[in-house]
Amino acid sequence: MNGDALTPGTDAPTWPPEFAERYRAAGYWRGETLGGMLRERAAAHPDRIALVDPAPRRRTWTYRALDERADRLAAGFAARGIGRGDRVVVQLPNVGEFVEVCFALYRIGALPVFALPAHRETEIAHFCAFTEAVAYVVPDRHAGFDHRELASRVRERTPGLREVFVVGEPGGHTALPEAAAEPGGPLPGPEPHELAFLQLSGGTTGMSKLIPRTHDDYVYSLRGSVGICGVDAGTRFLVVLPAAHNFPASSPGWLGVLYAGGTAVLCPTPDPATAFALVERERITMTALVPPLALLWTEAAPATGHDLSSLELVLVGGAKYSEAAARRFEPALGCRLIQVFGMAEGLVNYTRLDDDAETVVTTQGRPISPDDEIRVVDDHDRDVPDGTAGHLLTRGPYTIRGYWRAPGHNRRAFTEDGFYRTGDIVRRTPSGHLVVEGRAKDQINRGGEKIAPEEVENVVLGHPAVHDVSVVAVPDDHLGERSLAYVVLRAGAGPLRAADVKRFVRERGIAAYKVPDLVEFVDVLPRTGVGKVSKQRLRATPAHP
Ligand code: OOB
């Protein structure tokens, strides 16, 4: 049963054998690994440029150089006792070393756990402890924050964390280049059906759950995405969003681009000024954006002094892209738009290059695979007809069957027969395209960054003057949604301002995007009949500044 039947060595439920056989027979799972993929590309076209890191000084990696670098780091990691199945928390911004480290870990079958640069001590300590990570990879400083100090604190709290590798000045830790070693021969790599990495879920209850993806399933999603988006050796893809996110990594993302023999260019910050300069200088043909960035690009492009004429295609997804905004995109940028509705758990939907213009602006696409099973159901899991909104359930060759080490949660998040309950409310059109109508899960989608309200509520509750709190999403013109914390103070508690609550949350060491954007003080929180806070009624409360 889901959540109980763990495959030995994977710590997570996997596809039943009859499904695995079907996916292999259909040619979806071809026995490739991510590490092997780079090896093959490097053999086929060693001198092509795979990767460009333009800042602060332009560095490039040919396919051969990236492959060799991955081998050297893999050898060094292995020499330090990091091996198959071990977890390594990787928290790097968009720098070339991020790609090197990923491939080095893929090669030895160690599992990167993809933290975001914005994560702070609360999240990192949790990831390290929960995954029993043996190593943690960080930049020295990023966006004004010293990650080495954070690493030292986490190391003190997490005895199993043996190594901290630093890109840049190592402080008291190990500089990443020092970790490299001369490869002494082939290393025992992972099997294609084994796990490749752990990705973070958006989360609804407390901390992010971990998403176990296999080489077989992920490489299939890359191949499918590459075909749909027309990625080829001439593609020059700008990685604008954090490279560790599933969307810019694999839909089709920098991994899809490497799969197809193209060039991935890393953008250090997502602002249009930086990105536009790179589009011009690097002759970028493709990129992926969340809706708030797509809005900024739409506003900035007509007046920019930069030549954006190399751009052929931009993918927009991660949060709902309004029809009105989508209509303005192609005229403003002079390139094609694909909408993407995906999830790190698996299923990815794309509008297609041969869809008519109306479909591209009014839907969020259709699945990659003919074997992506889509069900749209009512509150009692009964299928509803096309055109009616309902809960999206999905199962398929690259959608997980369960989170990592979370049997209790898996029983709620998956049906008995293995469908993932996405928590999204969708409507299916007669053409099989999905339109995202809303969300049933308790989550805030802040411009593509997912926030689990419960995680923030738990932090706010730690304030001695707070009696109760509920965090909900409120509409925002720019971000789509932002977060609002309704706070009930303890009787007799001294005066507290919104800024005090925000500072308290920030000082607890959590990612800045999770700090409530707005705080309102109320006397009491509305309750449902069974005594739970009614988020529905809170969301309907009018007038927020
Ligand atoms: C992507 O992945 P996650 O795991 O950060 O978030 C998944 C959730 C979905 O369940 C849905 O609630 C929301 O993000 N979402 C969208 C959307 N794309 C994602 N909601 C409305 N419209 C869209 N176009 O966000 C992700 C992963 C791979 C590719 C693209 C996005």
Cβ of 290 below 6 Å from ligand 1:
no
User: Using CA positions, which residue lies closest to atom 30 of ligand 1?
Assistant: 342
Cβ neighbour number for residue 512 with a 10 Å cutoff: 13
> CA-to-CA distance for 420 and 411, rounded, in angstroms?
10
Residue 176 near residue 167, CB atoms below 8 Å: yes
Q: Choose the residue to mutate in 200, 250, 391, 424 for probing ligand 1, maximizing ligand atoms within 8 Å of C-beta.
A: 424
pLDDT in tens, 55-90: 999 999 999 999 999 999 999 999 999 999 999 999
Angle made by CA atoms 37, 275, 169, in degrees to the nearest 5: 70
Task: Please give the pLDDT value at position 1.
Answer: 39
User: Using CA positions, which residue lies closest to atom 12 of ligand 1?
Assistant: 424
Calculate how far, in angstroms, residue 450's C-alpha sits from the geometric centre of ligand 1: 9
* pLDDT greater than 60 at residue 497: yes
Q: Which residue matches tokens 């369960």?
A: 402
User: Using CA positions, which residue lies closest to atom 3 of ligand 1?
Assistant: 343
Average pLDDT over residues 440-459: 96
- Please give the number of the atom of ligand 1 that sits closest to the Cα of 316: 24
DSSP string, 497-536: -HHHHHHHHHHTT--GGGS-SEEEE-S---B-TTS-B-HH
> CA-to-CA distance for 346 and 336, rounded, in angstroms?
25
Average pLDDT over residues 136-159: 97
Calculate how far, in angstroms, residue 320's C-alpha sits from the geometric centre of ligand 1: 8
pLDDT in tens, 399-448: 999 999 999 999 999 999 999 999 999 999 999 999 999 999 999 999 99
Mean pLDDT of the chain: 95
Task: Please give the pLDDT value at position 10.
Answer: 57
Cβ of 247 below 6 Å from ligand 1:
yes
Average pLDDT over residues 259-284: 97
The sign of the CA dihedral 111, 115, 121, 126 is negative
Task: Please give the pLDDT value at position 541.
Answer: 78
Look at residue 273 and give its three-state secondary structure. helix
Calculate how far, in angstroms, residue 54's C-alpha sits from the geometric centre of ligand 1: 28
Cβ of 33 below 6 Å from ligand 1:
no
User: Using CA positions, which residue lies closest to atom 9 of ligand 1?
Assistant: 343
What is the percent of the chain where pLDDT is above 90?
Answer: 93
Cβ of 424 below 6 Å from ligand 1:
yes
pLDDT in tens, 14-59: 999 999 999 999 999 999 999 999 999 999 999 999 999 999 999 9
Residue 259 near residue 226, CB atoms below 8 Å: yes
Answer yes or no: pTM beyond 0.95.
yes
Cβ of 246 below 6 Å from ligand 1:
yes
What is the percent of the chain where pLDDT is above 70?
Answer: 97
> CA-to-CA distance for 213 and 192, rounded, in angstroms?
11
DSSP E strands, 281-402: 286-289, 313-317, 336-343, 346-350, 366-367, 373-377, 390-395
> CA-to-CA distance for 186 and 188, rounded, in angstroms?
7
Cβ of 209 below 6 Å from ligand 1:
no
Calculate how far, in angstroms, residue 61's C-alpha sits from the geometric centre of ligand 1: 31
pLDDT in tens, 338-377: 999 999 999 999 999 999 999 999 999 999 999 999 999 9
> What are the structure tokens assigned to 73, written together?
């780091």
Task: Please give the pLDDT value at position 543.
Answer: 54
In terms of residues, how long is the chain? 545
- Amino acid letter at 490? R
Cβ of 286 below 6 Å from ligand 1:
no
Cβ of 337 below 6 Å from ligand 1:
no
**Residue whose C-alpha is closest to residue 221's, from 196, 239, 187, 184:** 196
Task: Please give the pLDDT value at position 542.
Answer: 65
Task: Please give the pLDDT value at position 84.
Answer: 95
**Which domains does the chain carry?**
63-190 (3.40.50.980), 444-539 (3.30.300.30)
DSSP H or E run through 50: strand 49-53
Calculate how far, in angstroms, residue 343's C-alpha sits from the geometric centre of ligand 1: 5
- Please give the number of the atom of ligand 1 that sits closest to the Cα of 315: 30
Cβ of 453 below 6 Å from ligand 1:
no
Average pLDDT over residues 145-167: 97
Look at residue 303 and give its three-state secondary structure. helix
Cβ of 251 below 6 Å from ligand 1:
yes
* pLDDT greater than 80 at residue 7: no
Q: Choose the residue to mutate in 343, 422, 445 for probing ligand 1, maximizing ligand atoms within 8 Å of C-beta.
A: 343
Computed over its alpha carbons, how large is the radius of gyration of the chain?
23
Q: Which residue matches tokens 């993932």?
A: 420
Q: Judge if ipTM > 0.90.
A: yes
Between strands 59-62 and 49-53, the pairing is: antiparallel
* pLDDT greater than 90 at residue 206: no
- Amino acid letter at 427? R
> CA-to-CA distance for 375 and 329, rounded, in angstroms?
31
Chain mean position to CA 390: 24
**Low-confidence winner among 38-52, 196-210, 257-271 (lowest mean pLDDT):** 196-210
- Please give the number of the atom of ligand 1 that sits closest to the Cα of 288: 30
Q: Which residues pair with 338 in a beta bridge?
A: 315
Cβ of 318 below 6 Å from ligand 1:
yes
The band of 494, judged by pLDDT with boundaries at 50, 70 and 90, is confident
Residue 316 near residue 335, CB atoms below 8 Å: no
Tell me the backbone φ, ψ of residue 144, rounded to 5 degrees: 80, 10
Cβ of 450 below 6 Å from ligand 1:
yes
Q: Choose the residue to mutate in 226, 247, 316 for probing ligand 1, maximizing ligand atoms within 8 Å of C-beta.
A: 247
Cβ of 421 below 6 Å from ligand 1:
no
User: Using CA positions, which residue lies closest to atom 22 of ligand 1?
Assistant: 320
Look at residue 419 and give its three-state secondary structure. coil
> CA-to-CA distance for 350 and 68, rounded, in angstroms?
34
Task: Please give the pLDDT value at position 187.
Answer: 85
- Please give the number of the atom of ligand 1 that sits closest to the Cα of 291: 24
- Amino acid letter at 31? G
